[in-house]
Amino acid sequence: MYRIIKPGIVLKCIKCGKTYTPAPRLFLCPKCNHPLEVVLENTDFDWNKARRRRLCVWRYRELLPIREGIDPVSLNEGGTPLIKISNLYEKRVVESPNIYIKFEGANPTGSFKDRGMTIGVTIAKHLGVEGVVVASTGNTSASAAAYAARAGLKCIVFLPKGGVARGKIAQALLHGAEIREVDGSFDKALEEVLMDVLRGELANYYPLNSYNPWRLEGQKTIAFEIVDELGFVPDYVIVPVGNAGNISAIWKGFKELYEFGFIDKLPHMIGVQSENSAPLVKTWLSGSNDLIPVKEPKTIASAIRIGRPVNWLKALKAIIESKGFFETVSDDEIINSMKLLARYEGIGVEPASATTLACLIKCMNKGIVKKDDNVVLVATGHALKDPDIIIKNLESYL
């Protein structure tokens, strides 16, 4: 692993704090079974030097765990548009003009997952495995399939039967992944991957779900790009939460910038879930020390139809440390926000991403987010990922 990972990096348990030397398949703490986090002890990152590179994940190479000299498996991911809203403010849908959409749908496979896959698949390729394996609500499978193809690796994806939007399945097929459908929810699919990996049936396949801490290292670049482009730290960052890896990764990105002295304040993180698929909101509101799972999560936002998020503790810590909060939105609010973004701003997102605008409107109505606040909405995936939802809900317009 040391040939691939930079020296000076350790894996640390987010629960008990025990640290470990990086090893390719060490994802959960052997002592307490909680996820591990990558700790970067120092960096020679320099904004001025970085700004001479194109805006993309690898601009921040000195803040990433991959050793210098390792050639990344990349599709030029990241560098997505940060778009300031205009008409939504003019129409008074939102009360602050300082709202920005980080449009992650502009990534190579149409979601933020590409930021993580460039790191994860780079590691897989240099480990010399036969392929990669993921369980997915769709976007992870699309991204893993494309990056595996780029790396010359095989890809197996476990998908909940009937639970994945068509654009995403089409991508996995197109890029040549082997699709294994699982009866049940995403949580069941992830369980099957874990079991197959543990039983050794997929011994030569590298697992790339978001309990893989290296993948999250790529996703933290969302925070770097926000600061890089805005030139300041926003008051709030709103992120849709499924398996809870992304909100944890973005928070880690801000924290690293702060700890290394590149910024002098931190944003409040707001995690949003769909109301009948909201294990983290429930856990947070109850003050429980353990996850309160949702047995049968239901929402039109299939990307975040997840009842037992593996990164629940990381996300809970992100919310507590950032003095933020979790919020729920309804399916109707999601569809409405999807239309608002598309028709007033020209930004087409999938349902999971529309939760962010729905959440912002709710927070403004409650008076939590104020009229001059700077807010970034992380629009995680492209509208074309889920055409059926659009046609079904808007067919009266056809």
Query: Site residues (CB under 6 A) for ligand AN7?
Result: 111, 136-140, 210, 240-246, 303-304, 350, 352-353, 380-381
The sheet with strand 205-207 has its strands ordered as 178-182, 154-160, 131-135, 205-207
Nearer to ligand AN7, 40 or 303 (CB): 303
Burial track 377-387 (b if 16+ CB lie within 10 A, e otherwise): bbbbbbbbbbe
Q: How near is the Cβ of 237 to ligand AN7 at its closest, in Å?
A: 13
Q: How near is the Cβ of 16 to ligand AN7 at its closest, in Å?
A: 23
Indicate the DSSP class of residue 110: S
Nearer to ligand AN7, 114 or 228 (CB): 114
Q: How near is the Cβ of 78 to ligand AN7 at its closest, in Å?
A: 16
Nearer to ligand AN7, 167 or 267 (CB): 167
DSSP helix/strand/coil, 179: strand
Nearer to ligand AN7, 171 or 374 (CB): 171
Query: What are the structure tokens assigned to 397, written together?
Result: 């317009």
The sheet with strand 19-20 has its strands ordered as 19-20, 9-13, 36-40
Nearer to ligand AN7, 16 or 320 (CB): 320
Nearer to ligand AN7, 85 or 383 (CB): 383
Rounded Cα gap, residues 5 and 2, in angstroms:
5
Nearer to ligand AN7, 303 or 316 (CB): 303
Q: How near is the Cβ of 332 to ligand AN7 at its closest, in Å?
A: 19
Smallest CA-to-CA distance from 253 within 328, 314, 306 is with 314
> H or E element: which one contains 344?
helix 331-345
Q: How near is the Cβ of 181 to ligand AN7 at its closest, in Å?
A: 14
Q: How near is the Cβ of 271 to ligand AN7 at its closest, in Å?
A: 8
Q: CB-based contacts of 156: which residues, under 8 Å, 6+ apart?
A: 131, 132, 133, 134, 177, 178, 180, 202, 205
Q: How near is the Cβ of 190 to ligand AN7 at its closest, in Å?
A: 8
